[in-house]
Amino acid sequence: MQETNHLTLISSITYVFYKILPFSLIFFSWILMYRWRQRNQRGPKKWPIIGATIELLRNYNRMHDWLADYLSESKTISVSLPFTTYTYIADPVNVEHILKVNFSNYPKGELYRSYMDVLLGDGIFNADGEMWKKQRKTASFEFASKNLRDFSTIVFREYATKLSSILCQASIANESIDMQDLFMRMTLDSICKVGFGVEIGTLSPELPDNTFAHAFDTANIIVTLRFVDPLWRIKRFLRVGSEALLEKCIKVVDEFTYDVIRKRKSEIVEAGGNGTRNKGQMKNDILSRFIELGEDPESDFSDDKSLRDVVLNFVIAGRDTTATTLSWFVYMIMTHPHVSAKIYSELKAFEERQAKEEKVTLTSYEADDINSFNKRISQFASLLNYDSLARLPYLHACITETLRLYPAVPQDPKGILEDDVLPDGTKVKTGGLVTYVPYSMGRMVYNWGEDAKSFKPERWFEDGVLRNVSPFKFTAFQAGPRICLGKDSAYLQMKMTLAILCRFFTFTLVPNHPVHYRMMTILSMAHGLKLHVSRCV
């Protein structure tokens, strides 16, 4: 009986095997043919249905370098994922096509907006059409204002001096510091003061816990993950995993943001007296301008939600991008001491020349005498303004070279309204995304020559004068109609801060501290920038 059952089982298995064998052979033959047709394809190879998802996820934490490897072989590549295809470009001609020549066909788009809406809403980075135009017009007017520029100079100098005091104390205590965290605090305080007219004090000497910054950064990481996570909508619906954490972070972010708005509105009312507005007494910050626009019931900024979106977009513009660039700059000069020495020499010469022209007697100081050291820093800082900083061309070149290799926004996707053909012949389809990749573009030999991957500030000079490069090649500040409005302001703050830091301090990386980026919309360092700081004469 047992032998009969055994034979029956073997017979059943054999029958099933022979039934499925033809289908298995057909399926695997189809897979082989599918892959064979891709043998000459540019970019990562695809699998049926899932596309290049497996390879992308395997390389997600080094995605910018993964793309750079492929783009070094081909100026345009396609990455297929379930439901969409990403086209990545590194050729300046293609970049000019999507950012300028056929600009109207490449908005942010609904797909991008669906990923970023929870964080950026209808703010300038996430908006299209009339909403984008209105915000850009208002912001453009503010950034062109001499009053805002002069006020920014004062604020940037103030916070750079505060930062130097913290570094001085760290050097005395021989404590390591996270430079990226300090830069993030400094730039957050700055954008809140300049952009929103409020003081939040995250750079105070006790370095209070910054729950907003932690929540904002975590939210940024999670919305970036949505670009490659096909299950994010399901997780959001079920409120599980990363989407559950995102919901908690957004609550913290919103609490901070709405508090800023309420505080600014309250100050505006108080400035008017007796509950009325006196526009002549209004501050010249960006938020106040949008609040003023919101007084019109037909305005797109008449409710706090729209103002919330304005605030968060300017936070990511004024805090994250600048702090990230400052962090990579410090890392570059630590790893390239000859560059650091040239910067120091330029700053010493600048100090002497500027003091002579302004008839300022430079006080003597010793690095070990804290009082005289801080006094000299303040004296040096007083020599720094919008015009005098233009006399530091090598410092400017070093910042620009940092941005070439470590652009604050490493890749920037655009939607596709209608089918199009890029200048190199690549066909792109409606509903997909075209992404230009500043991180890769800065490392391409076909863009910058054989030394493209080298940190070489001298490349920005021609006959001893700083040279201009096409914004479609050097894309750190985007180009075309969406070119960054805050470029001059960013350079002003970075040069102000770095002039003080590079003149009076030297930095040493904490042994074995890992330095690499983390995947989010901004190219920040995954583990911060831990270093030791020393005072110098």
Mean pLDDT of 106-112: 91
Cα 22 to Cα 26, 31, 47, 404, 406, distances in angstroms = 6, 14, 21, 55, 53
Cβ neighbors of 388 (< 8 A, separation 6 or more) are 350, 354
Q: Is residue 527 part of a domain?
A: yes
Q: Is residue 41 part of a domain?
A: no
pLDDT at position 368: 85
Lowest mean pLDDT among 113-117, 272-276, 442-446, 483-487: 272-276
User: What is the end-to-end Cα distance of the chain in Å, rounded?
Assistant: 98
What's the number of domains the chain is made of? 1
Read off the amino acid at residue 353.
R
Q: What is the mean pLDDT of the chain?
A: 89
| Alpha-carbon gap, residue 44 to 498, rounded angstroms | 40
Cβ(142)–Cβ(287) under 8 Å?
A: no
- Examine the pLDDT at 223 and tell me if it is beyond 90: yes
SS3 197: coil
Q: Is residue 118 part of a domain?
A: yes
Burial 316-326 (b: 16+ CB within 10 A, else e): bbbbbbbbbbb
Burial 275-309 (b: 16+ CB within 10 A, else e): eeeeeeebbebbbbbbbbbbeeeeebbeebebbbb
Cα 361 to Cα 158, 219, 344, 351, distances in angstroms = 21, 50, 20, 11
At 18-46, the pLDDT tens digits run 556 565 555 445 445 544 555 556 678 87
Q: Is residue 410 part of a domain?
A: yes
Strands 433-436 vs 84-89: parallel, antiparallel or unpaired: parallel
| Alpha-carbon gap, residue 374 to 384, rounded angstroms | 16
At 474-512, the pLDDT tens digits run 999 999 999 999 999 999 999 999 999 999 999 999 999
Q: Which domain range does residue 394 map to?
A: 53-535
What six digits make up the tokens of 42? Answer: 């540019």
Handedness of CA 347, 348, 354, 359 (dihedral sign): positive
Q: Is residue 480 part of a domain?
A: yes
Q: Is residue 477 part of a domain?
A: yes
At 306-326, the pLDDT tens digits run 999 988 998 888 899 999 999
> In the 8-state DSSP scheme, what is residue 150?
H
Which CATH number goes with the domain that contains 60? 1.10.630.10
Q: Is 502 assigned a ligand-binding role in the annotation?
A: no
pLDDT at position 280: 40
Distance of CA 236 to the CA centre of its chain: 25
Cβ(59)–Cβ(228) under 8 Å?
A: no
Q: Is residue 34 part of a domain?
A: no
* Residues of the chain above pLDDT 70, percent: 90
Mean pLDDT of 211-217: 92
Nearest in space to 455 (alpha carbons), one of 403, 523, 496, 390: 403
Find where tokens 């507005």 sit: 277
| Beta pairing partners, 47 | 51
What six digits make up the tokens of 245? Answer: 């954490």
Q: Is residue 290 part of a domain?
A: yes
- Examine the pLDDT at 120 and tell me if it is beyond 50: yes
- Examine the pLDDT at 278 and tell me if it is beyond 50: no
Cβ(434)–Cβ(471) under 8 Å?
A: no
pTM of the model: 0.89
Lowest mean pLDDT among 239-253, 356-370, 444-458, 497-511: 356-370
Lowest mean pLDDT among 357-371, 416-430, 500-514: 357-371
Name which residue leads in pLDDT, 209 or 503.
503
Cα 162 to Cα 16, 106, 144, 159, 403, distances in angstroms = 76, 42, 27, 5, 25
pLDDT at position 16: 52
